[in-house]
Amino acid sequence: MVELDLRFAEGAVSESEWRQLQPFVSDIHRRLHAGDVPGADFLGWLHLPSETLRDGIEPLLTAATAIQEQADALVVVGIGGSYLGARAALEWCLPEYFNQLPRAVRGGPEVYFAGNHLSAPALADLLRVLAGKRVCINVISKSGTTTEPAVAFRVLRAWLEEQVGPEEARRRIYVTTDRVRGALRRFAEAEGLKTFVIPDDVGGRYSVLTPVGLLPLAAAGVPVAELLEGARAAEEALATDRLDDNPAYRYAAVRNALHRKGKALEVLAFYEPALRSFAEWWKQLFGESEGKDHKGLFPASVAYTTDLHSLGQFIQEGARNLFETVITLDHPGESVSLPAVAGVEDGLAYLAGRDLSWINDQARIATQLAHADGGVPNLRIRVADRSARSLGELFYFFELACAVSGLLLGVNPFDQPGVEAYKTNMFALLGKPGYESAQAALRARLEE
């Protein structure tokens, strides 16, 4: 199970500082499980792993097998919570460069992500990469109205229809959306497309263990039952309110205590490139859940040791308003030992025969010591390995920690009202019907 190591944070936050939050955590725990918290309509994630395993995932696995048979490449169209979890899990569970590996090694189709930006060059490049491939599309949008995926889907669908004709295109499009609402639901029904439902009571950033994440992951060859099993184990292990026994609550309490002592940023650090997209998922989870009412820790991330040659300088000696949370894998899973090479003066003879993962871990310990000594408290979250099961545990760990952390902060961790402001302006500038007066006001401001 995921463990929390506070050794390199002890100088910055004492045990009594986070322990005094126990009554508040206990109260939040009770109310969370009773459905008595702000945003209580979105607590479906709390028992999602056990309920999904109980109900079974056969329809999803059948569709995933069909995609594997139909496609050389799967395009996952979605933004925010509708793609970050799948991308995180793909990169965590599958080998680096998986799209470049032979199909027999990879298992599933190549996987590409679209609809998470409005970039014409990126979308045009994707179409070039897809040329000549058998393509399936999984379009994912809970609301069914989000501009970025809707734009990309329109382009990709037209392209697919051109390639294979409308009838075959219909067989190759999989829609993951709300049970009844939204334009995508209406479209899927009108066209008779295969659909999967995002439960009403699960918000986007908590949806990785619904078909949002599970369908593309299963199609790509990730063992989704193991992912769910890991999350279910965490659901069970983290069902206690006791800080001593619940590392997710301890993590929430410690970061709350650090925030109260003036820390404004939390930097998630990791030492395996396979965790890059996991950090993006984590940033969205905490950023959208906590950053409201002019409150919250700003979630950032660094990829080490790469960023030790970049942001590492700032973290060591810059403004002292941050702390780090370092994710480590007990078993990174590969072995690359440094060869002994005679006659080469690269100064590495003393490391000959050493494993690169051991060297990486010495860099991690050295950095934690240096950063803690430099005034950057370091929390460490230990995960067993890169298995789907371990990732399932970690997804649930952070979802729970984030909910409790947001509630400790006094915000609703399940809404995101702030994302509407840019949308209103964008719709006005784009000339969407109904936004005429907003458009006139914005144009006048811009011309001032």
> What is the Cα–Cα distance from 75 to 136, expressed in whole angstroms?
6
CA-nearest of 364, 281, 268, 265 to 322 is 265
Whichever of 106 and 205 has its CB closer to ligand PA5, that residue is: 205
Is-catalytic flag, 288? yes
CA-nearest of 230, 270, 220 to 95 is 220
3-state secondary structure of 387: coil
Which residue among 288, 290, 393, 399 is the active-site one?
288
CA-nearest of 210, 207, 217 to 195 is 210
Selected from 138, 141, 277, 301, the binder of ligand PA5 by CB under 6 A is 141
> 5 phi and psi, to 5 degrees?
-115, 120
User: Beta strand 322-331 with 298-303: parallel, antiparallel or unpaired?
Assistant: unpaired
> 380 phi and psi, to 5 degrees?
-125, 130
Among positions 220-279, residues that touch ligand PA5 (CB under 6 A) are: none
Among positions 288-317, residues that touch ligand PA5 (CB under 6 A) are: 288
Whichever of 80 and 230 has its CB closer to ligand PA5, that residue is: 80
* Nearest distance, CB of residue 281 and ligand PA5, angstroms: 10
Q: Which stretch binds ligand PA5 (CB under 6 A): 73-81, 157-165, 258-266, 430-438?
A: 73-81
Q: Which stretch binds ligand PA5 (CB under 6 A): 7-15, 17-25, 61-69, 79-87?
A: 79-87
Selected from 29, 106, 142, 364, the binder of ligand PA5 by CB under 6 A is 142
- 192 membership: H or E segment, kind and range: none
* Nearest distance, CB of residue 268 and ligand PA5, angstroms: 18
Among positions 414-433, residues that touch ligand PA5 (CB under 6 A) are: 416
* Nearest distance, CB of residue 395 and ligand PA5, angstroms: 14
Selected from 149, 213, 221, 406, the binder of ligand PA5 by CB under 6 A is 149
Residue 143 binding ligand PA5, by CB under 6 A: yes
* Nearest distance, CB of residue 204 and ligand PA5, angstroms: 2
**Sole residue written with tokens 């009594």:** 16
> 390 phi and psi, to 5 degrees?
-60, -40
> What is the Cα–Cα distance from 299 to 291, expressed in whole angstroms?
9
Which residue among 15, 334, 423, 436 is the active-site one?
423
CA 348 to chain centre: 37
Whichever of 138 and 146 has its CB closer to ligand PA5, that residue is: 146
* Nearest distance, CB of residue 247 and ligand PA5, angstroms: 24
Selected from 25, 60, 79, 394, the binder of ligand PA5 by CB under 6 A is 79
Selected from 49, 81, 199, 413, the binder of ligand PA5 by CB under 6 A is 81
Size of the site for ligand PA5 (CB under 6 A): 14
> What is the Cα–Cα distance from 12 to 30, expressed in whole angstroms?
29
- 305: preceding bond cis by omega (within 30 degrees): yes
3-state secondary structure of 75: strand
Whichever of 80 and 296 has its CB closer to ligand PA5, that residue is: 80
Residue 376 is classified by DSSP as -
* Nearest distance, CB of residue 407 and ligand PA5, angstroms: 17
CA-nearest of 124, 123, 126, 89 to 108 is 89
Whichever of 205 and 263 has its CB closer to ligand PA5, that residue is: 205
Q: Which stretch binds ligand PA5 (CB under 6 A): 90-98, 139-147, 155-163, 360-368?
A: 139-147
Is-catalytic flag, 399? no
Structure token digits, residue 359? 């060297």
Structure token digits, residue 142? 């809970």
* Nearest distance, CB of residue 418 and ligand PA5, angstroms: 11
3-state secondary structure of 126: helix
Q: In what order do the strands lie in the sheet with 73-77?
A: 110-114, 73-77, 135-141, 173-178, 194-198
Q: Which stretch binds ligand PA5 (CB under 6 A): 2-10, 142-150, 375-383, 392-400?
A: 142-150
* Nearest distance, CB of residue 80 and ligand PA5, angstroms: 2
Among positions 198-227, residues that touch ligand PA5 (CB under 6 A) are: 203-205
Q: Name the residue number minimizing CB distance to ligand PA5.
A: 204
Whichever of 81 and 109 has its CB closer to ligand PA5, that residue is: 81
> What is the Cα–Cα distance from 381 to 329, expressed in whole angstroms?
9
End-to-end CA gap in the chain: 58
* Residues 6 or more apart whose Cβ sits within 8 Å of residue 380: 4, 5, 6, 7, 8, 325, 326, 327, 328, 368
* Binding residues vs ligand PA5 (CB under 6 A): 79-82, 141-143, 146, 149, 203-205, 288, 416
Active site residues: 288, 423
